Amino acid sequence: MNTLSKEQLARARVLVVGDAMLDRYWHGAVERISPEAPVPVVKVSKEEERIGGAANVAYNVVTLGAQASFLGVVGDDEPGRRMEALLEKTGIAAHLKRDPGLMTTVKLRVIGRHQQLLRMDFENEPDHEALALQNATFARILPSHQAVLFSDYGKGGLAHIPTMISAARAQGTPVLIDPKGSDYGRYAGATVITPNRAELQQVVGGWSDSQGLAVKAQNLRESLRMDAVLVTLSEEGMTLFDAQGQVHVDANAREVFDVTGAGDTVIATLASLVAAGMPLRDAMPLANKAGGIVVGKFGTATVSYEELFT
């Protein structure tokens, strides 16, 4: 397996663009059922906050040992300020645009006996003017990064993605995309996209065998003028389709504790290694290993350099 020194990775800079979210966890004990309705009563004993969504992708980059900048839009509200403080604390260079009309996306999870009992989402879509401001910042900071990673959560924060992809590719900077939705035309010209099985089926339809998948993935890659399509197949591992053909790696067999954020870890690892100069085909097995490590952890977890390269 290919390896990189810590120093090589530390020089790599990844620009992450996408929908920022704040993950909140309320932990507590469940000792009784409510007399008001047949639901458990959680006596909250601990509150926890983590950066989520596309910001969690940036967090995965820095945890691995590379450098990350994050470009996104937040509301002019308490969760937006918390997000900024958490990004700063974790060493991510934050370039946040504030939209007074936006409610910063918050996912609140209630946890009892180490199980998620309930999730509440607070969100709305950002204003197009706030998003347009991102383009100028993107153009200004792009030259100091070796890879660009777009993490699309479908919350409306990537309305100008075609312009940004063009700007990055014009400078020869690799562009990696974690896609969402059924319109992949907006990702045209990217270096690689990383849909999972369900996401790809939504765009190209189903397939009956590996040959059918190969035909559909290669057709998609060629029609979108991309270098590669990396399909993640959960317990079956992942397959990379490029101009040379395809290469597959099996999943790392381990106990699956929580799949939250595994996709974030895979693409963050891939982008960090590509930014450090590693070819996609060499980076893929390591990204697969990182995904296997993170599903054995609780919540939106990350992977360290030591875990990946030892």
- With contact defined as beta carbons under 8 Å apart, do 82 and 22 qualify? yes
Looking at residue 156, its amino acid is G
- With contact defined as beta carbons under 8 Å apart, do 251 and 292 qualify? yes
Helix (H) or strand (E) holding 78: helix 78-89
Q: What is the crossing angle of helices 161-170 and 128-141, to 10°?
A: 10
Note if 264 is an active site residue. yes
User: What are the distances in angstroms from CA 90 to CA 70, 87, 94, 130, 176?
Assistant: 12, 5, 10, 25, 22
- With contact defined as beta carbons under 8 Å apart, do 246 and 239 qualify? yes
Of these residues, 76, 152, 264, 282, which one is catalytic? 264
Q: Which residues are catalytic?
A: 264
